[in-house]
Chains A and B, each alone.
Chain A
Amino acid sequence: MKIAVCIKQVPTREWQPRLNDAKTWIREQDASYELNEPDAYALEEALRLREKHNGEVVVCAAGPARVQQVIREALARGADRAIHVEDESLASADAAVTSAALAAAMADERFDLVLTGLQSDDQGHAQVGVMLAERLQIPHSTIIMEVQIEASRLRVKRELEGGWFQWIGMPLPALLTIQSGINQLRYATLKGIMAAKKKEIRKVPLAGGLAATQQIVALALPTRSKQTHMIAGSAPEAAKELVRRLREEARAL
């Protein structure tokens, strides 16, 4: 079983956004980065499937040089090797470009199964996985909460809205986008970190001729849709004022 996991590096949850001078992208030099959380679940699922069905787990990423940080982390958690489509322009690429970059680097590997997170915590297009399936000409399903493999077929539990689920069958090879919470994550051990240093990261240049499908005209802090009454003061003062307002003004208590 040859499994690919596509991962992305995104700003950390604690990151406070700052914009470039043109206000069209973030100031990358101020950001600290981490593994996109849904991708961490996809990686964990791949490692569990390898434990059950043998084979190898290959981490695939499309991004600038700094992405090596999360590739090393994935290798330390147990992935066998990595493919890195490296180009600075990929930092802010849209989903059509990112999926084309990954597809070009991954096609010859003929993976049995490709896993991605269901969306990224930066641009959040939620398109790369599905577009990658189309480019690799394999079937897909999205927002997956359980994966079963029998012979050359998949049976996966897909999350629908409002607490509903559905099992979907499909032949391998296939691509799945993985929902957060599908499993419990493991973290890298010291042994894993040491072993990762010797694992192969194959660098692939970005193919030319990929045209952006969208342009960010402006980035800004969101505007408030409501007039928010901010309540200041010490904790007891703020608590007292909030309870008063909820009782007298909002009549919600």
Chain B
Amino acid sequence: MILVVAEQRDGKLNRATLETVAAAQALAGADPIKAVVLGQSVGASAQELADAVSEVLLVEHATLAVYTPDAFAAAVQQVVASVKPAYVLFPHTYQTRDFAPVAALRINGTLMTDVTGINGTGAGATFSRPMFQGKLSAEVRHQGDGPRCVTIQIGAFRADAVKRGNAGPVTPVAVDIDASTIRQTPEAPFKEAKQAVDLGQAERILAVGRGIKSQENIAIAERLAKAMAAEIAASRPICDSGWLPMDRQIGSSGQTVAPKLYVALGISGAIQHLVGMKGARTIVAINKDADAPIFEVADYGIVGDLFEIVPALVSELEK
């Protein structure tokens, strides 16, 4: 049996959860799939999954109303102890990253993160995951007898590929969590500043990465952005260095975009960046390293020195 740990916020399931259900269906073969929804007053989220899995376990408890790693690890531990799944699948979100390693240890399981592909079904399956910043792809197998935990990378499976049938039961499951054992006290989530630009609305985006080398060179990229009528954006290290503001960052910690055209300039293409932009209709990669992972998702690629190519592009566009 496969258990999918669903993730909801304010009673709404996220897309990553549906992608994880699609992954579970690919892995299951003839095995049944159950989903567990954790929270308080989250019955509607449970109903959303009822026709995609054989049973939804609804775990409602006061300590699960607001996410904490201590409460969620305890809840998953208790649910796994009672339903004894062979696999536990999670969406690879920041929330999962925060508590799944604890849950995996407590259930004597093994945890494989960031999975982008599943080879085979059932106990013999192996899993693909990026390693070395996406330079290599590994095929990995769980060892040991405990539950096999897997986190499914965002965008690796399609939410609209979830097969639905007759609605199965939604079964309330009681958990026993003592509020005094929860050590983290979270405050309300907030956004840092009003975002000056909603990159999600941009038709064209020119994104710069480490290949731009220095803050002074940002101006070179800005000229190209102007010539192609694009918004300028960046990978995380550029924003970390303060060369462009944080609200221009594309990737798992920044914005997710799907423009008509995305030009990646000197971006190697680590998975954290790719998840934010691989939905773009046309992707161009310009990089000096022919083996950079960004070329795996690119429609057009130029291997070369961006400091030569960018001025050539500007003069070509201005003709």
Contact = CB atoms under 8 A, between A and B. Distances in A.
Residue in A17, A125, A140, A239 with the greatest tally of chain B CB atoms within 10 Å? A239
A228 B190 contact: no
Contact of A167 (B187, B191, B256): B187
Contact of A242 (B94, B104, B132, B284): B284
A78 to B, nearest CB: 21
Given A135-B105, A171-B183, A219-B131, A228 B301 contact: yes
A224 B296 contact: yes
A180 B240 contact: yes
A124 B101 contact: no
B135 interface: yes
A217 B139 contact: yes
A126 B143 contact: no
B110 A214 contact: yes
B201 to A, nearest CB: 15
B111 A95 contact: yes
If over half of B's interface residues share one DSSP class (helix, strand or loop), that class is named, otherwise mixed; here it is: mixed
Given A17-B135, A222-B134, A215 B111 contact: no
Given A180-B236, A219-B137, A250-B261, A126 B252 contact: no
A26 interface: yes
Nearest to B230: A253
Contacts, number: 251
A141 interface: yes
Contact of B102 (A17, A126, A130, A167): A130
Nearest to B238: A181
Contact of A163 (B97, B106, B191): B191
B255 interface: yes
Given A131-B101, A168-B187, A235 B309 contact: yes
Contacts of B165: none
Nearest to B142: A214
A228 B298 contact: yes
B188 A166 contact: yes
Contact of B143 (A161, A214, A231): A214
Given A124-B133, A239-B312, A143 B110 contact: no
- Interface of A, secondary structure class, is mixed
B105 A139 contact: no
B143 A238 contact: no
Interface string A219-241: 11111111111110001101110
B140 A239 contact: no
Q: Which one of B130, B313, B317 has the greatest number of beta carbons of chain A within 10 Å?
A: B313
B185 A170 contact: yes
Contact of B93 (A161, A174, A223): A161
B167 interface: no
B92 to A, nearest CB: 9
Contacts of A167: 186-187
Contacts of B163: none
B69 interface: yes
Interface string A91-113: 00001100000000000000000
B140 A215 contact: yes
A142 B190 contact: no
Contacts of A214: 110, 112, 140-143
- Report the 5 A-B pairs with minimum CB-CB distance, sorted nearest first: A181-B240, A239-B312, A139-B183, A213-B110, A252-B261
10 contacts: A13-B268, A19-B136, A130-B69, A130-B102, A134-B105, A165-B191, A170-B183, A214-B142, A222-B293, A222-B296
